[in-house]
Structure 1
């Protein structure tokens, strides 16, 4: 059987020719932008008869695969009857370091174009030229070689031979995958209440290439209800890849479990979980370079066989699986997971690999995105996460330290750091003793200084070992400045710039007020985007903030749980900041009265650590109850121990104190009688502060309720998430206490879940 296989020139040559070690390169956004300009400048120098950005394609049969190879060459030059393929490459490094043999992959790319043009036009001999341009100086060096048609045909055959084993595995796998998806049945005997409705909405959304915003309660099985219809769409050829993104490790585990269940039910699928570099790195210090890391040294010499090894033998490729194969093959586990991601059927990862401009999956080309679905779990978290991703800040102290450190070490770094430090001093003088000042825009003079600084730092870091302890502060400052420049390019009326001054520090921040347009722009590249959460409420608020449009679909599914499963109380007490001291006595008395005589495990959530600690201290004076408490410095082991204390069948009583919006109020699943009740102190409102007030003022200027957007809705979301820890299945029962008199007002009553609507006031 002959298989058709489509591949780009770049993907082909990079797979076959990749070799050597991981080597972290330093390139600023400015350098990349200048590289594009220089690239175009070279093309403008072509003769009128020459061509640029020429699309080329060919079909090359090798064994049982027809390779459809395509790409776009930079230039096609005609001179004295001789045809030359011109491949342009920009570099921020020194041209003197580049020789004719430095980059075989560049020759391979140009020779592919030469073959495609020559065979299409019956040319027996053709020139291939590599043009290297230094982006700062625009200095140029060129290398040229001449090839016959026979030499190029042999070259393409060697390319096909080098790629064949991987291509053959892929075409066989895709055929098996699609067949298994087409015949797949839902992995449970029946749908839970609301589950079929959600799955149907996801399928319809994919079919029509739109986006969906789904408020779907805990307990209906949101994960499998979004994954299963997506896989059916893959089997029908509508999709090729799934991107499952979330904010927490616990929900990434839920996605892995769902895929594992589907594999057990006969589906052929390859999924990869991406873990942050800092967490998965085998080294004590994360430094990517062959001199510092044995797993980076020679990485590209070993990665291709390792990819085939793991893909042929594993299906749901978790962090542990990646670490096992990476150690066996001596590979960087993080880079290995990224290489796997691009050839997998599904990727499970954090939001930032899709939305953060600093770390996104940039090799996922636009053509692939158009056949990829974006599944955004816990979508309520994306609003504030996006604000953080699209914001950037600089600290004066960093540049003062660099000025001192590099005074006699590197003139350019010293000079540019000194100028940036002086910029902060001048700005402080103009502040007239104000601690926080909103600026009218990004100061142009600072932007120019940052470009000069990143250029100087980049050149220095390219020539000096990265593990030099003296360079770590420079490296961090380089990335901060680079990010500030990058975010500056996104700046519009949805941002603000402000400076905050304290006695020992001064910060300048580009703050994203409304991330909706940037989120919309990112999501638009995919076939469909499915945003879902148990607390996507109010739905209109989240559709607005997540970049929804009128043409998008939305769905709100009623809770499958009966109000009888909850024993709901509302405590009339003010937990407003000004009343917290006086409220402690009431809260302690309420907890003692309510929990006396009960058994089981309970969680009490507070709006802040300080408030929690104060109530905890007073409550423990009684001495009748076993208590545990969250602290802000918990590591993974401490978190695990905290949750392990909530044992099933507890015939005494355990009370856990925790904070709303923290690690124990979202994403944890204490099933059955591991959790008997939840007490929520306060309405979850974020602490009143500068940034929240700026957000409030911005949305008020847009004709919206700024206080609700900045404070009420984000706060209520924390309440709903904390309360959602209790009832996880049809068999669960438990106690819910809402301790705040605001829960009795009309505004908050409207935001309570239907199954909390029957309550007793205490």
Structure 2
């Protein structure tokens, strides 16, 4: 019996022929890619007998594998006496840097197309042409070969033979995976209340190919309730893979734990976790250049062996597992994890890898997306994160520094950096001393200057003209600015901030919903879930829901008696904060004396937290009582904490502590989401304020934008995001059926209907 391997020509040849080193300085320049405009320009010059975008397909038998390979060649030219396959590649780099007669991977793609066409149309020989195009100068360079059908067939057979070990490994894995999924029961003895409902809704959404917006309470077991039905959908053939998208390392760990737990129950599934480059890099300094990193030098010569090895030996590939094999094969652990992602059944990663146009997976074909689902954990975080992804900014200072650095070293780089700096100087002069400017028109002049700078920077980088990483950073920022400018419409504003030392101009995305829709297009299903997706209508609006999409609200499985809610109507508004410090500090002391144990106190800002902390410590020093409040250990969150310090902070919350523990932290920070302190590890949470973002120009722009569109701008810009932080912070408390605790909400606005309606039922007085 034949096993079928369906694959595109490009994927096949890239696996076999990619070689050499990672070099971030040149990847944007050297990587030949399908530049649409360059392709169309070349194709417009074709004659009447010539065809463009010709679809070709072939079945290739190799032992018990049947390879079904297809692709679309750029051109089929009616040249005499042989037909010509034309493969077009565009680049921002210098065409003189192209080695000898072109790159092997490009020849492989073109020759493969020629074989497929010759086989189908019984051609004895073909002419094969590589056309390289410089995107800026429009210069073209061509290389041509004439090849017989026998030579083409032999060449293609050799490519398939080199790919076969990987294909055989994937086939063996799929058989074992599907068998294990069919035998996988729900991994716990019973469903918690609401779990079966959520799991059923997830499977149904995948089956119907729609989006699901699920508000499911903390402690219900959302991770297992979303991953388990998704894995079952892989087993029934609805899906090939899923992406578990998170905003934080803590929620990433929950997904890994769920997959490890199911692995111990018999699941055989390849899952890979992608860790940020700056965290997983083995070098002291992140410099992806072969001269500075042995893991980048020759990476593509070793990667196929590394991928095969880890896939044969491992299933759940966490950061530690990836690091071990990266050391073994001397490959960059970050790039290794990205390459593994294309082979994995499950990918645990940040939102960016799907939604951010700068770093989203570039090798995802339409067919691959069609058989993939997105599980978006803590989906409330995606709104502000998406605004960041689709915004871009440039500042004056780097261009002044580069103007000095490139003077006398690279004339075009110097000239374009100076032009950028001059633009910002003129902008400051025209501002009449205003601290900021808000405009609705795209600054076309700056976009053109940024494009000229990016082109010059490419040349300078290729020539090795700059010694620091500053040019590379400025180049990427300019490219991002140019890319974002193409997205600019009435959902954007131009925000300029002018200070004494610098000028910052930002293309600010106010409403990311349409762009999220576009970046998520093609995936079979999206599952957005969070304990705090409230109000659901707001999140559906901001995350790009469609009419056919589902919503689900799962009630809390916990008894109201498990949670003692106390509302203290004290003003925490900005102008009242100084007066509120002492009453809050006294309240904390009183609560800890009456109910000893481990507590978190969450604040809307570091400044407010530090002020109350100092007051609390002073009161404690003068306290005459020897109660738990005066004996308690006190921890204070800092904005610059390392991962080790964060872990140590959380590890201090133990149920076996002999003395009480008090952790001061900020809402919306690392300790207010994705933290699971079950049982006596946490007996109380105090939330100070209603979490509103600080009043500012950007938030007010959001308010005005949504007001103009007939929505409640103040709610969209301030209330909904703020109360979400409150719900997340308070949600740290009750995590299981046996948990009990005290929740204190300090603010007089909790007595107002506008805020009360946003509280969960079990929190309301």
Task: Give your verdict on TM over 0.5.
Answer: yes
Deviation larger for 143-152 or 60-69: 143-152
* 8 Å CA contact retained: 1:538, 1:751: yes
* 8 Å CA contact retained: 1:406, 1:413: yes
Deviation larger for 425-434 or 699-708: 425-434
Counterpart CA distance in 2 for 1:150 and 1:574 is: 84
What does residue 619 of structure 1 align with? 616
SS in 2 for 1:605: strand
Q: Establish whether residue 650 from structure 1 lines up as the match of residue 650 from structure 2.
A: no
SS in 2 for 1:662: coil
Question: How far did residue 102 of structure 1 move?
Answer: 4.2
What does residue 82 of structure 2 align with? 82
What does residue 641 of structure 2 align with? 634
What does residue 667 of structure 1 align with? 674
SS in 2 for 1:87: strand
Q: How does 1:344-363 map to 2 (within 5 A)?
A: 344-363=344-363
Name the CA shift for 1:26/1:298 in 2 (closer, same or farther; >3 Å).
closer
* 8 Å CA contact retained: 2:25, 2:472: no
Question: How far did residue 93 of structure 1 move?
Answer: 2.0
SS in 2 for 1:347: strand
Counterpart CA distance in 2 for 1:134 and 1:655 is: 62
Counterpart CA distance in 1 for 2:410 and 2:48 is: 46
Question: How far did residue 731 of structure 1 move?
Answer: 0.4
Deviation larger for 378-387 or 359-368: 359-368
SS in 2 for 1:90: strand
Deviation larger for 526-535 or 16-25: 16-25
Counterpart CA distance in 1 for 2:297 and 2:450 is: 32
Deviation larger for 518-527 or 492-501: 518-527
**Aligned with residue 522 of structure 1, among 511, 519, 524:** 519
What does residue 435 of structure 1 align with? 435
Question: How far did residue 523 of structure 1 move?
Answer: 2.1
SS in 2 for 1:408: coil
Counterpart CA distance in 2 for 1:328 and 1:59 is: 37
Counterpart CA distance in 1 for 2:90 and 2:612 is: 62
Counterpart CA distance in 1 for 2:698 and 2:487 is: 19
Question: How far did residue 26 of structure 1 move?
Answer: 4.5
What does residue 268 of structure 1 align with? 268
Question: How far did residue 299 of structure 1 move?
Answer: 1.0
Counterpart CA distance in 2 for 1:575 and 1:114 is: 72
Counterpart CA distance in 2 for 1:479 and 1:98 is: 23
Counterpart CA distance in 2 for 1:634 and 1:471 is: 28
What does residue 746 of structure 1 align with? 753
Counterpart CA distance in 1 for 2:558 and 2:342 is: 40
- CA deviations over 1:295-325 (Å, ceiling 9, x no partner): 1111111111111110011000001000000
* 8 Å CA contact retained: 2:93, 2:458: no
Counterpart CA distance in 2 for 1:301 and 1:377 is: 36
Deviation larger for 88-97 or 187-196: 88-97
Q: Establish whether residue 715 from structure 1 lines up as the match of residue 722 from structure 2.
A: yes
* 8 Å CA contact retained: 2:601, 2:665: yes
SS in 2 for 1:376: strand
What does residue 589 of structure 1 align with? 586
- CA deviations over 1:27-86 (Å, ceiling 9, x no partner): 779x99994222212112222111111000011100110111111111111222311111
Question: How far did residue 389 of structure 1 move?
Answer: 0.9
Over aligned residue pairs, what C-alpha RMSD do you find?
1.6
Counterpart CA distance in 2 for 1:448 and 1:713 is: 38
Question: How far did residue 332 of structure 1 move?
Answer: 0.6
Counterpart CA distance in 1 for 2:118 and 2:297 is: 38
Q: Establish whether residue 508 from structure 1 lines up as the match of residue 515 from structure 2.
A: no
SS in 2 for 1:272: strand
What does residue 57 of structure 1 align with? 57
Name the CA shift for 1:221/1:54 in 2 (closer, same or farther; >3 Å).
same
Question: How far did residue 423 of structure 1 move?
Answer: 1.2
Q: How does 1:273-352 map to 2 (within 5 A)?
A: 273-352=273-352
SS in 2 for 1:714: helix
What does residue 686 of structure 1 align with? 693
What does residue 386 of structure 2 align with? 386
* 8 Å CA contact retained: 1:600, 1:651: no
Counterpart CA distance in 2 for 1:296 and 1:6 is: 31
* 8 Å CA contact retained: 1:625, 1:655: no
Q: How does 1:162-561 map to 2 (within 5 A)?
A: 162-464=162-464, 470-561=467-558
Give the alignment's TM-score, normalised by structure 1: 0.97
Counterpart CA distance in 1 for 2:46 and 2:503 is: 50
Counterpart CA distance in 2 for 1:329 and 1:346 is: 23
Structure 2: where are the runs of 5+ without partners? 622-629
Name the CA shift for 1:28/1:703 in 2 (closer, same or farther; >3 Å).
farther
Counterpart CA distance in 1 for 2:743 and 2:151 is: 76
What does residue 562 of structure 1 align with? 559
- CA deviations over 1:160-185 (Å, ceiling 9, x no partner): 11011111111121122223223321
Counterpart CA distance in 2 for 1:446 and 1:33 is: 26
**Aligned with residue 757 of structure 1, among 733, 745, 764:** 764
* 8 Å CA contact retained: 1:27, 1:92: no
Counterpart CA distance in 1 for 2:99 and 2:33 is: 25
Deviation larger for 50-59 or 638-647: 638-647
Q: Establish whether residue 702 from structure 1 lines up as the match of residue 698 from structure 2.
A: no
Q: Establish whether residue 573 from structure 1 lines up as the match of residue 570 from structure 2.
A: yes
Counterpart CA distance in 2 for 1:708 and 1:10 is: 48
Give the alignment's TM-score, normalised by structure 2: 0.96
Question: How far did residue 450 of structure 1 move?
Answer: 0.7
- CA deviations over 1:560-589 (Å, ceiling 9, x no partner): 111100111011200000101111121122
* 8 Å CA contact retained: 1:27, 1:458: no
Counterpart CA distance in 1 for 2:106 and 2:521 is: 32
Counterpart CA distance in 2 for 1:138 and 1:617 is: 65
Question: How far did residue 247 of structure 1 move?
Answer: 0.2
Question: How far did residue 651 of structure 1 move?
Answer: 3.8
SS in 2 for 1:287: coil
Counterpart CA distance in 2 for 1:112 and 1:292 is: 36
Question: How far did residue 5 of structure 1 move?
Answer: 0.9
What does residue 626 of structure 2 align with? none
- CA deviations over 1:479-510 (Å, ceiling 9, x no partner): 11111111111111111002111111111111
SS in 1 for 2:757: helix
Deviation larger for 155-164 or 648-657: 648-657
Deviation larger for 73-82 or 323-332: 73-82
